């Protein structure tokens, strides 16, 4: 294990230089008696031995809904609504996904992660990116490392992104993996859009609203592999986090390890081979104007068996503005979060903020703080240009119009508000703390809505 220099941007924003990567090779680490300090979690975050209690999540049978029976759909919407108001977790059965496809997807996880490290590293995730192979995120963080390996890739409906990823990074002999996961992601996409209909019904905004919102989506598929660990009581497979994405559909193998923080303590969601675990993410919490919860969860590891899980994260199209439907906003329920785009939140969690319990709050504050600063800067700039414009006019009467146009142009260049289009006001993307000014076109979004985050949630989605 090699340790090199790390650059700190702020106490919360921690970026490792690309050269600082350490290598997580569980096979080697397992031969040691102790696990390295970087994998040891602080006392108050370590796995709790009493987390064996099962979380009561409804087991939603989708058969009636999928066959279009109205009364079955209403029941399903009610159960889902209750769960999402409490902790945002439920399970679905009779979902229409073939068990053979799920088995094939798990087989490919096993085949990929049992390859030698060097082979897996051909798909190595690059700093600041969300896709590729990551061994314990050792290149990103220097402490509280998760005991796991992941392979993540993008999915968009009716595209060949998944196939292309496998062939591009691992070679033509992995085309079959691409085929399996493309089929799996298409199935997850269909299921998540069905669930979006249920969520729309349960929130009283109609079946079509969220389905249409996510019809075009830029989602992420992640394969999680948790090797056995000689000291499972000291570490975590996935740290406590809420998913910054919109909806997660997870299939876990029969080993178990998923825990959810509910009613003030950690509880378990036991594996059920024919069920998918579904949970609300931060982006959907914002879309529901805070009515549905994106809840804290984590994964523990164990001494005896490796564990696998398949996580499909439904995300909006990158530049779509995330805002709740009008019916969910009113005097009694003012806007809980500012408008944002998924691309802005994704970049925030990838480059500037180690996702934790306060990601959405931190993100909301960042948006508003940066916008406020831009507006202040703009006002003082406008003032100074006006004064110098006036002074210029005293000496150059003939050039008055030109000079004023020039100053107007300079002010426009720095104006925080740019254009109205694509369903809202668009402005230059605020700069994150420590980020250098972007060269060229700096595309972005982010509206100044009164934001008042209601939830302090814990997020370690990236780890």
Q: Which two tokens stand for residue 176?
A: 């079959």
Q: Which two tokens stand for residue 426?
A: 């668009």
Contact segment (CB under 6 A) with ligand AKG among 43-51, 196-204, 252-260, 415-423 equals 252-260
Check residue 286 for interaction with ligand AKG (CB under 6 A): no
Check residue 288 for interaction with ligand AKG (CB under 6 A): no
Check residue 235 for interaction with ligand AKG (CB under 6 A): no
Nearer to ligand AKG (CB atom), residue 306 or residue 328? 306
Contact segment (CB under 6 A) with ligand AKG among 26-34, 133-141, 204-212, 250-258 equals 250-258
Residue 115 and residue 118: Cα distance in Å, rounded? 8
Q: Which two tokens stand for residue 253?
A: 């193998």
Check residue 238 for interaction with ligand AKG (CB under 6 A): yes
Nearer to ligand AKG (CB atom), residue 311 or residue 403? 311
Nearer to ligand AKG (CB atom), residue 146 or residue 290? 146
Check residue 359 for interaction with ligand AKG (CB under 6 A): no
Check residue 258 for interaction with ligand AKG (CB under 6 A): yes
Burial (Cβ within 10 Å: 0-12, 13-18, ≥19) of residue 422: exposed
Nearer to ligand AKG (CB atom), residue 162 or residue 299? 299
Residue with tokens 């919360």: 12
Question: Catalytic residue at 307?
Answer: yes
Check residue 311 for interaction with ligand AKG (CB under 6 A): yes
Out of 140, 211, 293, 307, the active site residue is: 307
Is residue 241 within 8 Å of 463, Cβ to Cβ?
yes
Check residue 55 for interaction with ligand AKG (CB under 6 A): no
Least distance to ligand AKG from the beta carbon of 139, Å? 18
b/e for 126-160, b at 16 or more Cβ within 10 A? eeeebbbbbbbbbbbbeebbbbbbbbbbbbbbeee
Check residue 309 for interaction with ligand AKG (CB under 6 A): yes
- Interface with ligand AKG (CB under 6 A), residue from 217, 252, 349, 453: 252
Residue 306 and residue 5: Cα distance in Å, rounded? 32
- Interface with ligand AKG (CB under 6 A), residue from 120, 140, 209, 297: 297
Burial (Cβ within 10 Å: 0-12, 13-18, ≥19) of residue 307: buried
Nearer to ligand AKG (CB atom), residue 355 or residue 403? 355
Q: Which two tokens stand for residue 327?
A: 């019916």
Nearer to ligand AKG (CB atom), residue 162 or residue 311? 311
Check residue 125 for interaction with ligand AKG (CB under 6 A): no
Least distance to ligand AKG from the beta carbon of 222, Å? 5
- Interface with ligand AKG (CB under 6 A), residue from 87, 120, 125, 222: 222
Least distance to ligand AKG from the beta carbon of 271, Å? 9
Check residue 459 for interaction with ligand AKG (CB under 6 A): no
Beta-bridge partner residues of 217: 316
Nearer to ligand AKG (CB atom), residue 57 or residue 203? 57
Is residue 123 within 8 Å of 170, Cβ to Cβ?
yes
Task: Tell me how many degrees the CA angle 316-277-162 measures, rounded to the nearest 5.
Answer: 45
Q: What's the gap between Cα 64 and its chain centre?
A: 31
What angle do helix axes 161-170 and 175-202 make, rounded to 10 degrees?
150
Among 286, 289, 296, which residue's Cα sits nearest to residue 461? 296
Least distance to ligand AKG from the beta carbon of 412, Å? 43
Residue 63 and residue 66: Cα distance in Å, rounded? 5
Residue 293 and residue 89: Cα distance in Å, rounded? 9
- The residues of the shown chain that bind ligand AKG, judged by CB under 6 A, are 222, 224, 238, 243, 250, 252, 257-258, 297, 299, 309, 311, 461
Catalytic residue IDs: 307
């Amino acid at each position: 294990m090699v340790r090199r220099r790390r650059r700190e941007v702020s106490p919360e924003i921690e970026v490792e230089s690309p050269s600082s990567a350490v290598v997580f090779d569980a096979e080697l680490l397992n031969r040691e008696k102790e696990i390295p300090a970087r994998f040891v979690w602080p006392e108050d975050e370590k796995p709790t031995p009493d987390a064996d209690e099962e979380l009561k999540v409804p087991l939603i049978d989708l058969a009636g809904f999928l066959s279009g029976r109205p009364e079955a759909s209403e029941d399903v919407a009610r159960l889902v609504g209750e769960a999402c108001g409490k902790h945002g977790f439920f399970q679905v059965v009779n979902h229409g996904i073939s068990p053979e496809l799920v088995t094939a997807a798990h087989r490919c996880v096993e085949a990929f992660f049992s390859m030698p490290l060097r082979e897996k590293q051909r798909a190595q995730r690059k700093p600041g990116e969300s896709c590729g192979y990551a061994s314990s995120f050792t290149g990103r963080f220097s402490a509280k490392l998760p005991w796991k390996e992941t392979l993540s890739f993008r999915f968009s409906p009716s595209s060949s992104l998944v196939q292309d990823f496998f062939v591009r990074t691992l070679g033509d002999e992995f085309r079959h993996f691409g085929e399996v996961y493309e089929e799996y992601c298409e199935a997850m996409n269909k299921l998540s859009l069905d669930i979006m209909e249920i969520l729309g019904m349960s929130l009283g905004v109609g079946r079509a609203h969220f389905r249409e919102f996510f019809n075009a989506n830029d989602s992420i598929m992640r394969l999680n592999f948790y090797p056995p660990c000689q000291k499972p009581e000291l570490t975590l497979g996935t740290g406590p986090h809420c998913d910054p994405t919109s909806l997660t559909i997870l299939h876990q193998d029969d080993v178990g390890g998923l825990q959810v923080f509910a009613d003030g303590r950690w509880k378990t969601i036991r594996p059920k081979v024919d069920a998918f675990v579904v949970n609300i993410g931060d982006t959907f919490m914002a879309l529901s104007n805070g009515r549905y919860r994106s809840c804290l969860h984590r994964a523990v590891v164990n001494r005896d068996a490796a564990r696998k899980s398949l996580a499909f994260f439904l995300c909006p199209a990158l530049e779509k503005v995330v805002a709740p439907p009008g019916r969910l906003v009113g005097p009694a329920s003012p806007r809980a979060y500012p408008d944002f785009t998924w691309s802005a939140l994704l970049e925030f969690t990838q480059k500037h903020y180690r996702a934790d319990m306060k990601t959405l709050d931190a993100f909301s504050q960042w948006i508003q703080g940066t916008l406020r600063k831009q507006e202040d800067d703009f006002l003082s700039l406008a003032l100074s240009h006006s004064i110098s414009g006036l002074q210029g006019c005293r000496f150059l009467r003939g050039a008055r119009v030109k000079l004023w146009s020039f100053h107007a142009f300079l002010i426009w260049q720095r104006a925080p508000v740019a254009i109205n289009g694509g369903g809202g006001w668009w402005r230059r993307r605020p700069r994150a703390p420590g980020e250098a000014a972007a060269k060229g076109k700096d595309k972005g979004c982010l509206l100044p809505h009164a934001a008042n985050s209601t939830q302090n949630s814990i997020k370690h989605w990236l780890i």
